[in-house]
Structure 1
Amino acid sequence: MRAVVYRGPNDVEVTDVPDATVQDPTDVLVKITTTNICGSDLHMYEGRTSVEEGKVLGHENMGVVVEVGPAVSRVKVGDRVSVPFNIACGTCRNCLHGWTSFCLRTNPIEGMVGAAYGYANMGPYDGGQAEYLRVPFGDVNLLTLPEGTEHENDFTMLSDIFPTGWHGTELAGVVPGDDVAVFGAGPVGLMAAHSALIKGAARVFVVDQQADRLRLAESIGAIGVDFSAGDPVEQIMDATRGRGTDRGVEAVGYQAHDPSGEEHPELVLDNLVSVVRATGGIGVVGVYMPQDPGARTEAAQQGRIGFDYGTFFTKGQSMGTGQAPVMRYNRQLRDLIVAGRATPGFIVSHELPLDDAAEGYARFDRREDGWTKVLLRPEALAS
């Protein structure tokens, strides 16, 4: 089958790889209809992780079931499904408590919990930027969708970024009437803004410097804050008459940088501590790594990020972190899409054939104007 394979920093190749197959009784084989390039894929693409050469990439996947293992009873051949990026066993302590993003059984790498498709340190699983994908524990993991091709661009966000954006607002504690600051207007940040507005936030400030992304934020009713035009904390404090926001979402991660492009991994955390009011909440869904050999400082290379913890403590703020347990949210978010209450596909900028993945990676990584969210299609969808 054709698949997107990591070859080294800034180098991916679409090539033939062994077919995905049913290997265990609980496996399901999915024919991919849409798979996305995620902003976190760019960490691997840029050589900022320990991903091995030859890895099939892709953790944002959806498609149609074409084969099931003998122990699969819920999912059927022909089902249209969304594949959460978390690979969960469904029976360990964390899974039973709803923390499928921290499954204790699916990642054999020592010291790691939680598994995912096609990602560094997340287990031996191939990704879905390919024609087919093997899904372990298929009855546990797969979300069934309405038949056909309707809402394809919306539903493809259910595997990761829409639940991740929603998770950011959950970790922050967003409730109706809150003012919310979202740092980062990439796909996850835009999904966090969309989620906060669906939840009834009074105002959502979205901080970035990319004009196209800020326009998208404003198109859904958020307030764009361009940090290249001045200190974003000052801009938001002025807009809130010095009060600050009730909640904040970190959707940038360890490659946060200033307007000149110089990296400061603590920058967004410091800004959120400053802009969120005393006793307010912060949700961190931007990716941070235990090791980052490409970081500027020795501490950051070891995953040690020195943010303004003293002020955080003094203000009595709370902070939640970590990857989203997709299955905690995806059914509800699917139904919001079907009802027309959520339209996460508004962020899609490009829909490319799978064979054009290398170009998609390169242009998305360069943050070219208008390249906001790239979808890959192994074959054309039926009209």
Structure 2
Amino acid sequence: MNDVKAVVYEGPRSVAVRDVPDPKIKKGTDAIVKITSTNICGSDLHMYEGRTNVEEGKILGHENMGTVVEVGSGIDRIKVGDRVSVPFNIGCGHCRNCLTGWTAYCLRMNPNPDMDGAAYGYANMGPYDGGQAEYLRVPHADFNLLELPPGDEHENDFTMLSDIFPTGYHGTELAGMEPGDTVAVFGGGPVGLLAAHSAMLRGASQVFVVDRENDRLALAEKLGATRIDFSVADPVEQIMDATHGRGVDRGVDAVGYQAHGKGGEQPARVLDNLVDVVRSTGGIGVIGVYVPEDPGAADEGAKHGRIGFNFGKMFSKGQRIGTGQCPVMRYNRHLRDMIITGRATPSIVVSHELPLTEAPDAYDKFDRRVDGYTKVVLKPEMSGGTS
């Protein structure tokens, strides 16, 4: 291999497809994956918008899958030719957190002393190149890679296994969901939609999806959820009316720190709404991203990760709250198998399949919500885009 093409961060609202050195095996436990599908994630937009401290020149992309083309001398499970999903977490497989299934908080792979957990192509998550590229180096490949059936069947479903499908499922798990529960998901982006899909798969009696974008709400209805358009009326009132004043058993925050309401950005808005709408002793799962430092925040506290939601009311209602990035390997195997058997179809969120070369335009349109951009899958070998 010579130089390969990759999507590189150049500054706020600026990415470019550049020629970069092809990835090499650095340790015997590495593998090189030829990327067949790589997604633009909503959390990539935090970096794209300049709301993180990601360095210029960073190769982006943490939602990756492809075919193994080279393995290190220490690899004995994964083989050249295997079709694989690459979890966005990079785990060592040996530390306390990895051994207990919490690969999102690996203690060894991130040299940043203030951050447990590593990932591909993301701010503060270690020095690892992302997979919005033709090839990707995968450390500890025997531990991290998930094998997939050969061929190209379910390609767009399987590419959701690296992050957003397990993350959506994780939101329902953090909330403590049980069969028969009612669930409110705030945020109808790809993660929120797949949280709703996961809740349905887990036996929810009713799922509400809160958003204001009609294309997202239409997808929520297609998944069997009840749409709540917060541009029409207060979402808490709508859900309380629909549940005869009882509220819901579980809530999922799939929005994060860039939540908006009347008057602009309000980082506590979704958390406050969830505290209001989830019944007493119910559970809340927070999978929307919150960050310890946000120089672009609307208020001084939020600039330093201090989000002033109604903790007192949450305490008085006896609610439980779970937070954090998804440990993908806890879920990806059985979610893969649900895709294979036709039980799960996470590709429903895909709106556009595009060549890697069209990434800069796709980032711009996805960020501005142009033309119904819901989820973009980049195909390095593709010569023309479809939507």
Q: What amino acid sits opposite 2:132 in the alignment?
A: Q
Deviation at 1:181, TM superposition (A): 0.3
Deviation at 1:144, TM superposition (A): 0.3
What is the Cα-based RMSD across aligned positions, in Å?
Answer: 0.8
User: 1:64 maps to which residue?
Assistant: 67
Following the alignment from structure 2 to structure 1, what is the Cα–Cα distance between the partners of residues 251 and 60?
31
Following the alignment from structure 2 to structure 1, what is the Cα–Cα distance between the partners of residues 368 and 88?
24
Counterpart check, 1:148 vs 2:155:
no
* Structure-to-structure mapping, 1:15-54, within 5 angstroms: 15-54=18-57
SS in structure 2 opposite 1:2?
Answer: strand
Following the alignment from structure 2 to structure 1, what is the Cα–Cα distance between the partners of residues 244 and 175?
22
Aligned residues: 380
* Aligned partner (choices 255, 271, 275) of residue 273 of structure 2: 271
User: 1:329 maps to which residue?
Assistant: 331
* Identity across matched positions, percent: 71
* Aligned partner (choices 220, 225, 233) of residue 223 of structure 2: 220
SS in structure 2 opposite 1:312?
Answer: helix
* Structure-to-structure mapping, 1:1-16, within 5 angstroms: 1-16=4-19
Following the alignment from structure 1 to structure 2, what is the Cα–Cα distance between the partners of residues 177 and 243?
15
User: 2:106 maps to which residue?
Assistant: 103
Question: Contact 1:270 / 1:307 at 8 angstroms: preserved in 2?
Answer: yes
Question: Contact 1:207 / 1:226 at 8 angstroms: preserved in 2?
Answer: yes
Deviation at 1:259, TM superposition (A): 4.7
Deviation at 1:175, TM superposition (A): 1.1
Structure 2 runs not aligned, ≥5 long: none
Deviations 1:231-271 (A, max 9, x none): 000000000000000000000000000155x0010000000
* Aligned partner (choices 346, 349, 357) of residue 347 of structure 1: 349
Deviation at 1:340, TM superposition (A): 0.3
User: 2:318 maps to which residue?
Assistant: 316
Deviations 1:169-209 (A, max 9, x none): 00001111111000000000000000000001000000000
Q: TM-score, with normalisation over the residues of structure 2?
A: 0.97
Deviation at 1:369, TM superposition (A): 3.8
Following the alignment from structure 1 to structure 2, what is the Cα–Cα distance between the partners of residues 21 and 234?
55
Structure 1 runs not aligned, ≥5 long: none
Q: TM-score, with normalisation over the residues of structure 1?
A: 0.99
Counterpart check, 1:378 vs 2:380:
yes
User: 1:304 maps to which residue?
Assistant: 306
* Aligned partner (choices 79, 82, 102) of residue 82 of structure 2: 79
* Structure-to-structure mapping, 1:159-170, within 5 angstroms: 159-170=162-173
SS in structure 2 opposite 1:228?
Answer: coil
Question: Contact 2:365 / 2:371 at 8 angstroms: preserved in 1?
Answer: no
Deviations 1:80-125 (A, max 9, x none): 0000000000100000010000000000011110000000000000
Deviation at 1:346, TM superposition (A): 0.4
Question: Contact 1:284 / 1:320 at 8 angstroms: preserved in 2?
Answer: yes
* Aligned partner (choices 111, 117, 122) of residue 120 of structure 2: 117
Counterpart check, 1:200 vs 2:203:
yes
Deviations 1:199-238 (A, max 9, x none): 0100000000000000000001000100000100000000
SS in structure 1 opposite 2:249?
Answer: strand
Q: What amino acid sits opposite 1:242 in the alignment?
A: G
Q: What amino acid sits opposite 1:266 in the alignment?
A: A
Question: Contact 1:186 / 1:213 at 8 angstroms: preserved in 2?
Answer: yes
Deviation at 1:368, TM superposition (A): 1.7
Question: Contact 1:227 / 1:259 at 8 angstroms: preserved in 2?
Answer: no
Runs of 4+ in 1 over 3 A off after TM superposition: none
Question: Contact 1:21 / 1:134 at 8 angstroms: preserved in 2?
Answer: yes
Q: What amino acid sits opposite 2:213 in the alignment?
A: Q
Q: What amino acid sits opposite 1:47 in the alignment?
A: G
